[in-house]
Amino acid sequence: MEDIVEDFLELVQIDAASGNERGVADAVKAKLEALGLAVEEDDAGASFGGNAGNLLAVLDGGLPGSILLNAHMDRVANGLGIEPQIKDGLIVSDGTTILAADDLSGVAALIDSVRRLQACGQKFPRVEYLFTVGEEAGLLGSKAFDTSRLRAKVGYAFDSPGRLGRVVCAAPGQVSLTVEVAGKAAHAGNCPEEGVNAVTALAKILATIRDGRLDPESTANFAVLDCGTKVTNIVQSYAVCRGEMRSRNDAALSAYVEYFERHCREAASGTGAAVKTTVTPQYESFSFDEDAPVIQAALAALRDMGAEAQVNGGGGGMDANVFNAAGIGVVGVATGYSGNHGISERIVLDDLRRAGELAERIVLSWADMGGLPE
């Protein structure tokens, strides 16, 4: 069995989650050090109550310039006790958990690229490997990372769904949206007319708000409801809902924020309840044209592999959003997984086998293109 497949199968079986990446971080660090790389760990985990930090390792290839390769070590919920299985050219879980190919396939690909570059017999630019924590909890690790430690001006996040060959040229920005409704408590049996039901007012807001797929580049979702009590004999005085809106179009994002604030007030008018909205920016969008050098280097690598390439935008945020906001031009790269964040998650075995080669060839493509921006 290939090293990259063995690495992947080992890593997914280490229990981890956002904020509890210690086991995976230790395993990744050991693998990199066994390949002769020095690994530095920051204190990013401490910024959000986690037990591990981001890992940074550097491979010097003897040519000027630097390139960033990134993947994240955490996973979403339902990622404990994973039992990976190889079936019909796929790697899947046993059907009761996620697989954590998002993003341990990216982690395995980057480790494999170290082996490949060390053995390739060619000079190449300096490679900065950054393995982050807390990505699934809101890009927390990359937000806490000191990007001044990086020399790279371009890079690739091996963290996107799709078959090998997909390059993600754009990703949405996201804002968190909260609506709080304050009513008036009263006894639900004796004097309900004296109360103002915050739950009813919130229901009117949510029943009429625009959500789901808003346009080809934008979505909104309201998912978390709370009123602070489970009893039914009180006219509820408080209710809150938390959600999000994301878009690759900054103008659409701004317009929806204005709509959200206006809609919440108007929908609750006449109920007697007071409404408070809070909008919290999470990360900015990014977008590259297909002729951008960072895209062209990836396409050249895919051509060299004989892989079918596709360039399109994604619907999820990733560490690349944070790096682009910091002035490092980073795009997403697919490793062959699909169904991520659910028990149907799977990865195409042949795509995983070739993902490390793709990382290697991307680095070498920059050498062929005449070097990296300084």
Which residues are tagged catalytic? 74, 135
Distance CA 102, CA 371 (A): 30
**Do the strands 218-226 and 90-92 form a parallel or antiparallel pair, or are they unpaired?**
unpaired
Length of the chain: 374
Distance CA 10, CA 32 (A): 15
Which pair of structure tokens corresponds to residue 94? 């046993």
Instruction: Please name the residues in contact with 281: beta carbons below 8 A apart, sequence gap of 6 or more.
Output: 173, 174, 175
**Pick from 287, 357, 310, 250: nearest CA to 5:** 357
| String of DSSP letters for 39-103 | EEE-SGGGGGT-S---EEEEE--EEEEEEEEEEE----SS-SS---EEETTEEE--SSS---HHH
Strands (E), 140-258: 154-160, 166-171, 173-182, 186-187, 212-215, 218-226, 234-235, 238-247
**Pick from 257, 262, 263, 255: nearest CA to 280:** 257
Give the 3-state secondary structure of residue 366: helix
Give the 3-state secondary structure of residue 139: coil
Contact (Cβ atoms closer than 8 angstroms) between residue 346 and residue 336: no
Q: Phi and psi (nearest 5°) for 13?
A: -85, 0
Contact (Cβ atoms closer than 8 angstroms) between residue 349 and residue 89: yes
For residue 284, give the amino acid letter: E
Half-sphere exposure of 237 (CA within 13 A, CB side): 7
Contact (Cβ atoms closer than 8 angstroms) between residue 143 and residue 286: no
